[in-house]
Chain A
Amino acid sequence: MPLIKDKTPMPAQDAKARIKNFNEVALGYSEEDALKEAERCIQCKKPGCRQGCPVQVNIPEFIARIKEKDFIGAANSIKEYNNLPAICGRVCPQENQCEKYCVVGKKGDPVAIGRLERFVADYAMANDSAKPQRIPSNGKKVAVVGSGPAGLTCAADLRKMGYEVTVFEALHVPGGVLMYGIPEFRLPKAVVQKEIDTLRDLGVEIKVNSVIGKIETVNQLLEQGYDAVFIGTGAGLPYFMNIPGENYNGVYSANEFLTRVNLMKGYLFPEYATPVKVGRRVAVCGAGNVAMDAARTALRLGAEEVYIVYRRSKAEIPARHEELEHALEEGVQLVLLTSPVEILGNEEGWVTGMKCIRYELGEPDESGRRKPIPVEGSEFVMDVDTVIMAIGQGPNPLVPTTTEGLATTKRGNIVADEETGQTSLEGVFAGGDIVTGAATVILAMGAGKKAAQAIDAYLKQKSNGN
């Protein structure tokens, strides 16, 4: 069979049209596209792709099911390893994971594993109405703190093993960053909602409006009858640059900006009561996924010019390729090798501009990336009226600071064993961004999975011991 070098393109909304709406940009494969793309997989005996997947989805197997047109079977195969395939198929950085190790990629494009995953997950959502079987309770209770991908995965796996699971979520909807951070046009909220409904069908109890550390501490949960606790509270603390003018009106953290839009539906203001303000010229500081999301959201809210201001060069941009490409197609402009030093404002405290300095790249530093060095005397002022800080997030301190005996790192992340999620406290496990710092959906899920295994082992051992 001749090898097809290029991957099957994914249809997308036209860039001109899509910057006027919040509908999903990438439209997903048709059955025909999926079959065509699946044919490109050569079904390796030792599949590199699977090694590259943090949760080890059996990729050749699910692709084989697609070839047989057994799409539901393909979805079930993925779900053995991954509870949230419709989400991962959309937001995983596949180019650095499974697809990076695909053999076909050596001579052309790798198999579009992510797009195929999304196709089968969407197909199953639309066509598979079978409710999951409810596993009877084994009488043991586990509390999960935080309902991001780490918490949801841990909860689902434990419920499937028979544990009674209660998830506590601080916000009024579960989902973590999937709901409040990643915009609708990249990850429709209905998709996340459906995945969460599946968890509820499994019998997972989700309590929203419950801030652990305030309503109850982790220690209290243990005292009150939970046999174990998993902490997956994420990296929700926005970093600022600590430069002058950062508290002027018109300076947002990406978290605030995105939360106003995604969680509170600010783009439907005043029908929805939460306002969001975006000026004519917007600077977004940073160049990760968060920055791309903020920039593209600003465009959709009507900004005329949107700039990504980044200290390094294009090659170092940490966002997913697809997101960067989409952002550029939509008209987001890159201001590279540049970093803000001061935000300028007027009498009433509104942003009127951003003073920046140029950088050049020096020798590679410890991270292997070339170190950006400021160029003396290169300051200039960007004419902007809105600034969005997307330079990273730290661990949310609410749980670490209220849990007696819980060891944390200097930066405030919870110390947990990489393989088990075990923390310094007996019966308390942790995983996801609160342990690793801001990372990815799939890594958070992987951590939730490993912790579920470890919690099961711990509780079995404990009841044998008694």
Chain B
Amino acid sequence: MYQIVRKKVFSPTLKLMDVQAPDVARNVKAGQFVILRMDEMGERIPLTVADYDREAGTITIIFQEVGYSTMALGKLEAGDYLLDFVGPLGEPTDVQNFGKVVCVGGGVGIAPIFPIARALKEAGNEVISIIGARNKDLLFWEEEMRAVSDRLYVATDDGSYGRQGFVTDILKEIIEQEKVDRVWGIGPLVMMRAVSEVTRPSGIKTIVSMNPIMVDGTGMCGACRISVGNETKFACVDGPEFDGHLVDWQLAIRRSQMYKDEEKRAMAKGQCGGGCGCH
């Protein structure tokens, strides 16, 4: 069992937890993820590692409540336990001194971009970060990001904080004005696709972190397959990071919709508590 030692609520649907998992904390690197299960009946939920503390043996996760399982997870409090917590999974980010890099985090994607930006900074890069969200309430870790970046830009879709607009608007301006050696973009699929489209004409290598539906996370089931450069890859073991210019976005978006109807059923159960027999 893995104890939740801290919980922080950013907004009603956006939450942070520190989980006691010393075996994972010992070897984890930026870019990797974990899979957790709340209880016997729970789904295996993949979440990127947002931060870690090797000494305390904790892993930080930040998640958006989008469906039945993440909502149930959001109800847990510090002191509660998770049944399973496996990791670190996936390949770590390829961290080198590339020169000048831009790290773009959209929505909950700010969480996974943070350790990557930090590692890139430590490796000697000049790090420019752009973070954005739909509105001010969904924005978090501005100070944390500022601390690991040479420059930080903030955008909100509705203009409730920072600049009004998309993170890609800012990215476009930057790459028009200065020479950038590499870009990371993490966030919702459509945002990562947009980031890749912005950098495609100038050919700046752009890394995205794919989050397809997963089951085992060890390369056993093939659920997480995506197409990169016309080759099928398993995101859990070959990724989750890939070259955004080579990803088949349409396929990735379609596959993420696979269980839409089932999710509605699970949500309906969640709302009435499930014990009522009404479904």
Contacts and interface: CB of A to CB of B under 8 A. Distances in A.
Interface in A161-190: 170-172, 180
Contacts of B44: 172, 264, 274
Contacts of B24: 215
Given A172-B83, A275-B266, A277-B262, A270 B218 contact: no
Most buried by B among A172, A211, A214, A271: A214
Interface stretch (A5-13, A84-92, A252-260, A360-368): A252-260
B52 interface: no
A408 interface: no
A256 B262 CA distance: 17
A259 B213 CA distance: 14
A236 B218 CA distance: 9
Contact of B221 (A211, A253, A269): A253
Contacts of A210: 23, 86
Contacts of B266: 269-270, 273, 275
A386 B230 CA distance: 23
B220 interface: yes
Most buried by A among B26, B37, B216, B250: B216
Interface residues of B, number: 47
Given A270-B262, A270-B279, A275-B263, A208 B84 contact: yes
A236 B23 contact: no
B251 interface: yes
Interface stretch (B12-20, B137-145, B182-190, B252-260): B252-260
B215 interface: yes
Contacts of B262: 269-270, 275, 277
B89 A255 contact: no
Given A255-B220, A349-B254, A209 B86 contact: yes
Contact of B87 (A214, A260, A275): A214
Interface string A411-428: 000000000000000000
A79 to B, nearest CB: 30
Interface string B63-106: 00000110010000000000111111100000000000000000
A273 to B, nearest CB: 4
A32 interface: no
B220 A275 contact: no
Interface string B203-245: 0000000000001101111110111000010000100000000
B150 interface: no
A264 B26 CA distance: 28
A271 B222 CA distance: 24
Contacts of A208: 84
A259 B215 CA distance: 8
Contact of B232 (A236, A247, A397): A247
A208 B84 CA distance: 9
Contact of A275 (B85, B254, B257, B259): B259
A260 B69 CA distance: 15
B86 A249 contact: no
Contacts of B87: 211, 214-215
A246 interface: yes
A48 interface: no
Most buried by B among A210, A214, A273: A273
Interface string A62-93: 00000000000000000000000000000000
B255 A215 contact: no
B216 A171 contact: yes
A397 B219 contact: yes
A277 B220 CA distance: 19
Interface in A231-265: 236-238, 240, 242, 246-249, 252-253, 255-256, 259-260, 264-265
Contact of B257 (A211, A215, A255, A348): A348
A197 interface: no
A247 B219 contact: no
Classify chain A: how many residues form its interface, as a range.
Answer: 35 or more
A387 to B, nearest CB: 13
Nearest to B220: A236
A273 B215 contact: no
Contacts of A209: 84-86
Given A208-B84, A209-B84, A214-B88, A349 B251 contact: yes
A279 B268 CA distance: 22
Nearest to B268: A270
A240 B222 contact: yes
Contact of B220 (A215, A252, A259, A265): A259
A215 B89 CA distance: 8
A325 interface: no
Nearest to A171: B216
A238 B222 contact: yes
B212 to A, nearest CB: 10
A247 B85 contact: no
B248 to A, nearest CB: 8
Nearest to A235: B220
Contacts of B222: 238, 240, 252-253, 255-256
A277 B265 CA distance: 13
Given A172-B37, A172-B84, A216 B255 contact: no
B158 interface: no
A209 to B, nearest CB: 4
Contacts of A215: 23-24, 26-27, 87-88
Contacts of A264: 43-44, 215
A223 to B, nearest CB: 14
Most buried by B among A248, A269, A277, A397: A269
A398 B251 contact: no
Contacts of B250: 349
B88 A249 contact: no
B35 to A, nearest CB: 9
B3 to A, nearest CB: 14
B269 interface: yes
Nearest to A255: B221
B255 A249 contact: yes
Pairs A-B, 3 closest by C-beta atoms: A349-B254, A275-B262, A256-B221
9 contacts: A180-B216, A209-B84, A215-B26, A247-B227, A256-B215, A256-B222, A270-B268, A396-B218, A398-B218
Given A214-B89, A238-B222, A397-B219, 7 more contacts: A215-B27, A236-B220, A240-B222, A247-B232, A252-B223, A253-B222, A396-B220
